Amino acid sequence: MKIKTIITIIFICGIAAGCSSWQAVNGPYVSNDDNFEVTVPYGWMKYNTDGFLMLSKDGPFLQYMMIQRRPLSKPFRHTRKQITNHMLPQEAAEVVLDEMRSDRTLRQFVVLSNTPEKIDGNLGFQIIFSYIDRDGLKLKTVLRGFVKDQWYYNLRYTAAERYYFEKDKDDYESLAGSFRLTAN
């Protein structure tokens, strides 16, 4: 399922449920199912969902942070390429970039940087990119990813480029810096 579709579904469900699916969460957050923990910055709300952690401060159409763990065996939606546990981090980044470039909902997709990054001591990558969504809003994303055993982890921050990206980027950096894998 595309990220935009997921966000739309979450938003609609939140409105239909009187926003009861969003919960305030400040401080430590532990995902026993996905084997990670992070410290959530003050003021961010968590959407109750299985499969990934999604946070927003002012609404997912303005900014969101997401942490996801997906099995390497699960194919991507827009590319036939796959990440394997034997790839170098930059090779995995190229698979992710191919997925993004092949997604027709990300118009005017531009890679601003693609660099190595350590995430909780794991060799990974950081991609910064921008694109225009279907509604004409220019968004900017920082995506960190790494492979551990049979899993691909990614930590993503997406926000409207014009105001929200810089406003909340430090919160993402704090969240990403606190990311730790927990025992299986």
Query: 73-99, pLDDT tens digit by residue?
Result: 999 999 999 999 999 999 999 999 999
- Which residue, chain included where needed, has tokens 């996801």? 68
pTM, rounded to two decimals: 0.86
Domain ranges across the chain: 3-181
Partner residues linked to 138 by β-bridges:
132
Distance CA 16, CA 103 (A): 28
pLDDT at 19 over 90: no
Distance CA 143, CA 100 (A): 11
The domain covering 3-181 belongs, at the CATH homologous superfamily level, to Mog1/PsbP, alpha/beta/alpha sandwich (3.40.1000.10)
* Residue 172 φ/ψ region, left for φ over 0, alpha for ψ in the -120 to 50 degree band, beta for the rest: alpha
Q: What is the pLDDT of residue 18?
A: 46
Residues 6+ apart with CB under 8 A from 131: 100, 106, 107, 108, 109, 110, 138, 139, 141
